[in-house]
Structure 1
Amino acid sequence: MSSYRPLHEGWTLSSRDLAELPASVPGCVHTDLLAAGVIEDPYLDGNEHRLAWIGRTEWTYRTVFAWSPDQDERTDLVCEGLDTVATIILNGVRVGATANQHRSYRFPVRHLLRDGGNELIVRFGSVYDYAGVQRAALGERPGAYDEPYQFVRKMACNFGWDWGPTLVTAGIWRPIGLAGWSGARLAEVRPLAHADGTVDVHVRVERTTEEPLTLTATIGGITTEHRLEGRAAVVSLRVPEPELWWPRGYGGQPRYDLTVRLSGGDEWHGKIGFRSVELERDAFRLKVNGVPVFVRGVNWIPDDCFPARITRPRLAGRFGQATAAGVNLLRVWGGGLYESEDFYDLADELGLLVWQDFPFACAAYPEEEPFRSEVTAEARQHVARLAGHPSLVLWCGNNENLEGHADWGWQDELAGRSWGAGFYHDLLPSIVAELDPGRPYWPGSPYSGAPGLPPNDPASGTVHIWDVWNREDYTRYAAYRPRFVAEFGFQGPPAYATLRRASSDEPLTPDSGHQKAIDGQGKLLRGLGRHLPEPRTFDDWHYYTQLNQARAMAFGIERFRSLMPYCMGTIVWQLNDCWPVTSWSAVDGDGRRKPLWYALRHAYADRLLTVQDGELALVNDTAEPWSGELHLARRGLAGEPLAKEVVAVHAAPRSVIRVVLPESVAVPDDPARELFTARLGAIRTTRCYAEDTATAFPPAAYDAHAEREPGGYRVTVTAVSVLRELAIFPDRLDPAATVDDQLVTLLPGESAVFHVGTAQELDTSALTGFPVLRCLNEAVRP
């Protein structure tokens, strides 16, 4: 029998200048110092900069635990996550040293344990000191930031990013404990499932005896036994007529319980799903169970700078926000982590596909020792750990390093030094081919499919589009005809309540809160362009820049979806934030949905109407045909039809059809005083012929009233005039309040009902007035 005892109690934290204080394990130095009142919240005001000393300090974690001799032959100290440069000391004896946040470690310690009290110390050195030694030995390597993240195997974005703070952590960030066993233990179970119902269970054991062992595997009521005389085996089982696992929107997500037992009592339990996945490389088209999948994706960054705070309920909430917005894929970005078991289990459960970058991002990485061995060990561990998850559909070698080497001037700086190519083109694909051969591998993103091709060519492979936001107006997306867009984004500030919490400024201004992007504030304002008015107040700035972010991303998504099946995926930068910041996210650092989230829900809907190049594209990403009468109209701003057309349409399942717009509705008599509508069934799109700033909208006139309903308020807005981009921001009244819809355009006589969720009593006049209720053509602005 095996046993496990967590060692999570009684820890203290200290440094040369700080006496012992209570510590939480799992956790990190920053959260321990915060809990003890030594530091202020690193996420608020300018505290980030005042806390830089933490990452340059040596820290000591210490606990004393009782132990008594037992019947186990072996006892191991299991460290699932040490961040990062650690020395482990048990009862005064150095057990081991580590320098990789991405790995777990197991040390035999039974010979060091004492009957009674035992002292365990984990001492963390400064990662800056460690990285400096490696840099001096191996030579400088270029990167996107003046931080040494490429010289230590640690979450890169801890060192700061254009959306994240520089909060360099240390600590026991994943569980730690004692594992006892006798005879033999299951060191690794790696199930490889196939769409025909076969599962090949690869098993490695550690053993103290050479006696034959019995290995038993059970799934779906089927059991098989294997006589194991060595240290590895493959046990194969077959479930007849298995139910296949599908991405959300394509079918169900059945999973099967798999149990592996070793004689002596050690057991492993997991859930697997039967499905196939393949990548058509030239087109970069993912197929699951032989069916092409248009990827409606979002990029995922670590949801907190301090990952021990990320719980399963928190992940479930964030995944729920993703699925409610129509998302079917999460790309785990390469500047973060291999995520927790909860992350991939939830993705399996919800049918969310996962694209997993190996953790390399935006820098040239040395391939020499000690890094080659560290990368080999971490990759083997996590490829084996994640092989059984049906949601995982792609391993990717890195983020933007191939582009950096080709296009960012790195080659001159490197002067022939290694930069990671051997990892991305040799080491990592060989590990995937050995341990997870049924899952595609892609060397990096962006990447065009061969080392000699320009990495960021839209015509093949994956592309990252960043001229929009950095230099170009968002209408530039219309000039692209990409195969697959793995990154594109546009900034907007967080929700008002999030910004209010993050900044103590009175009053708030556009420069309150956090902005990490180079010239980010300037780009936000220039990005408004001709699309929206120039802000006069903070309230204007907040609404207009949030709205512009939503419009920019909807414009790009609709463009790329209209190109299906030539283009087969978009992955928006980004779903989430790790702290309260102005960024590219749809959900801000406090978990509040920005207007972009509502725009994503519309642009990622199963069925979409979008005007493209003088045509109306009908995007039908469902398994059923979409047929009916398409109603097209050119209208005056009072809503009256100036021209109408009706077209019979039929869009086959998983297809896009284009309808050429008749001239009567395509060409306005007066662009400033007309708009276009298209409706098919319950789905409608509204488009102005001119930019909003050049459209002669009448002053907004409407009737709005709010009434209590279970769980909050029902707000009904009836338009007397046209109302452009109507939105309610209830978090201005109650930080916990939510609203079910935003950015609605109403024609005169139409009504919209908004459901505001809150446990508080709200002032109904405030709920239906400025600045909580906004639209672009407001009659009066304070």
Structure 2
Amino acid sequence: MTARDPMLALQRLLQPGVAVGPSRLEGDWTFLETFANAVAHPDELSESGNWLPAQVPGTVAGALRAANRWDDTAPPPLHRHDYWYRLQFSGSGGRLLRFNGLATIAEVWLNGVQVLTTRHMFVAHQVEVQLEGPDNVLHICFRALHPWLRGQRSPVRWKPRMIVPPTLRAVRTTLLGHMPGWCPPVHAVGPWRDIELLDPVGTEPTRGVRAELSSRLDGKDGIVSLRLHIAGLTPAHGAFAVTGPDHAIWHGELQRVAPNMLAGEVRVPAVQRWWPHTHGEPALYGIEASLGGNVVSCGNVGFRTIAADRDGGAFALRINGERVFCRGACVSTHDLPGLADTDEAVARWL
């Protein structure tokens, strides 16, 4: 993921958002390769086609590897064809479908009706749907990226020399697999993050809730801002608490500010600042919200200032006014075909 301003990207650190109460949509997923844009609607798919088992979350490359149709020494190009994923599942009534990551030009169809289109690999999407009884069919079509990019007419003002093709800047997707000499040309295609089916709001008040946190300093005090995005009918008010590293607690109120949003702020006096481990303690404050007697864990925030120091024409960062040395890092994956970077797998890898 990229940002035009690296300082803005750094400012977003320690401001997590947390989805609460997910239920993974599981079953016997299959997928089918078709020519680019040859199939416009799921009804046109061939039942006698070469449907292969697929793991979700997962990728086309991972599924081909599981089917012994993958060669690490010569990865096949995956951006020239469309890939249709299919799942049959039971359920009826109103539900929420949440797609936490679809790579990358994707269309979602439920029971023959298109309910979502996206061209952003890193953004989660949630749609309200009506299930039609015991037999529902979900299709996800991942359109061929290269033909789509050729159709984009926006000029490339700054052509990235390392990225192939340069027009990749027109879509939000990973650069892994598109940097010759850096990593193999393994293309990320497929539902690489969880797909969740959420119960109707009201059966469990904490389901379908997403917390958005931010923090800032006001002199020696800290300000915590919380916004709760709630799928369905939102209560008129709620409450939240901020717990410090020394277990002190401060309370605040949440008020409805939009049809599906509660928001509020809490002032924390004389906060402990967050420091890099080389300069002090990474002090964090825990946030919990209360909705109708149900507690929602919203994550943690820290308080620090960050500024660029360009004295003498050089570039450095100051954290809480102190100049610090930041070492560069390259983010990759230990499983390029599957993108299956669980915490446990990465810990073993490191």
- Do the aligned residues in 2 keep the contact of 1:77 with 1:179 (CA within 8 Å)? yes
Aligned to 2:61: 30
Aligned to 1:299: 330
Residue 316 of structure 1 aligns to a residue whose secondary structure is: helix
Aligned to 1:244: 273
Using a 3 Å threshold, how does the CA distance of structure 1 residues 210 and 28 change in structure 2: closer, same or farther? closer
The one of 215, 222, 230 equivalent to 1:192 is 215
Query: Looking at both structures, which has the greater relative contact order when contacts are Cα pairs under 8 Å and sequence separation is at least 6?
Result: 2
2: CA distance between counterparts of 1:125 and 1:34? 20
1: CA distance between counterparts of 2:256 and 2:225? 16
The one of 50, 55, 68 equivalent to 2:79 is 55
CA shift, 1:79, in A, is 0.5
Using a 3 Å threshold, how does the CA distance of structure 1 residues 245 and 315 change in structure 2: closer, same or farther? farther
Q: Rg bigger for which structure?
A: 1
Using a 3 Å threshold, how does the CA distance of structure 1 residues 278 and 117 change in structure 2: closer, same or farther? same
Residue 131 of structure 1 aligns to a residue whose secondary structure is: helix
Aligned to 2:124: 104
Residue 89 of structure 1 aligns to a residue whose secondary structure is: strand
Counterpart check, 1:15 vs 2:15 = no
CA shift, 1:257, in A, is 2.0
CA shift, 1:93, in A, is 1.1
What are the residue-to-residue correspondences of 1:417-436 with 2, within 5 Å? Answer: none
What are the residue-to-residue correspondences of 1:218-233 with 2, within 5 Å? Answer: 218-220=242-244, 221-231=248-258
Counterpart check, 1:65 vs 2:93 = no
Structure 2 letter corresponding to 1:34: R
The one of 255, 276, 282 equivalent to 2:305 is 276
What are the residue-to-residue correspondences of 1:479-490 with 2, within 5 Å? Answer: none
How many residue pairs get aligned? The number is 303
1: CA distance between counterparts of 2:293 and 2:145? 42
Unpaired segments ≥5 residues, structure 1: 322-782
Structure 1 letter corresponding to 2:119: A
TM-score (norm 1): 0.36
CA shift, 1:38, in A, is 1.7
- Do the aligned residues in 1 keep the contact of 2:22 with 2:198 (CA within 8 Å)? yes
CA shift, 1:160, in A, is 3.2
Residue 230 of structure 1 aligns to a residue whose secondary structure is: strand
What are the residue-to-residue correspondences of 1:24-423 with 2, within 5 Å? Answer: 24-40=55-71, 42=72, 44=73, 47-48=74-75, 51-52=76-77, 54-69=78-93, 75-109=95-129, 111=130, 113-134=131-152, 137-139=153-155, 142-144=159-161, 145-147=163-165, 148-182=167-201, 186-194=209-217, 196=220, 198-206=222-230, 208-209=232-233, 212-220=236-244, 221-231=248-258, 234-263=263-292, 265=294, 267-282=296-311, 283-306=314-337, 308-317=339-348
Two-structure CA RMSD over aligned residues (Å) = 2.9
- Do the aligned residues in 1 keep the contact of 2:254 with 2:262 (CA within 8 Å)? no
Structure having the higher helix fraction is 1
Using a 3 Å threshold, how does the CA distance of structure 1 residues 128 and 248 change in structure 2: closer, same or farther? same
TM-score (norm 2): 0.75
- Do the aligned residues in 2 keep the contact of 1:3 with 1:181 (CA within 8 Å)? no
Residue 76 of structure 1 aligns to a residue whose secondary structure is: strand
Partner deviation per Cα, 1:597-627 (whole Å, 9 max, x = no partner): xxxxxxxxxxxxxxxxxxxxxxxxxxxxxxx
Percentage of pairs with the same residue: 25
- Do the aligned residues in 2 keep the contact of 1:276 with 1:288 (CA within 8 Å)? yes
Partner deviation per Cα, 1:692-732 (whole Å, 9 max, x = no partner): xxxxxxxxxxxxxxxxxxxxxxxxxxxxxxxxxxxxxxxxx
Structure having the higher strand fraction is 2
Structure 2 letter corresponding to 1:215: A
Using a 3 Å threshold, how does the CA distance of structure 1 residues 264 and 120 change in structure 2: closer, same or farther? farther
- Do the aligned residues in 2 keep the contact of 1:12 with 1:63 (CA within 8 Å)? yes
Unpaired segments ≥5 residues, structure 2: 1-19, 36-48
Structure 2 letter corresponding to 1:98: T
Aligned to 1:5: 23
CA shift, 1:5, in A, is 1.7
Structure 1 letter corresponding to 2:173: K
2: CA distance between counterparts of 1:101 and 1:176? 13
Using a 3 Å threshold, how does the CA distance of structure 1 residues 210 and 38 change in structure 2: closer, same or farther? closer
2: CA distance between counterparts of 1:264 and 1:116? 33
Using a 3 Å threshold, how does the CA distance of structure 1 residues 257 and 182 change in structure 2: closer, same or farther? same
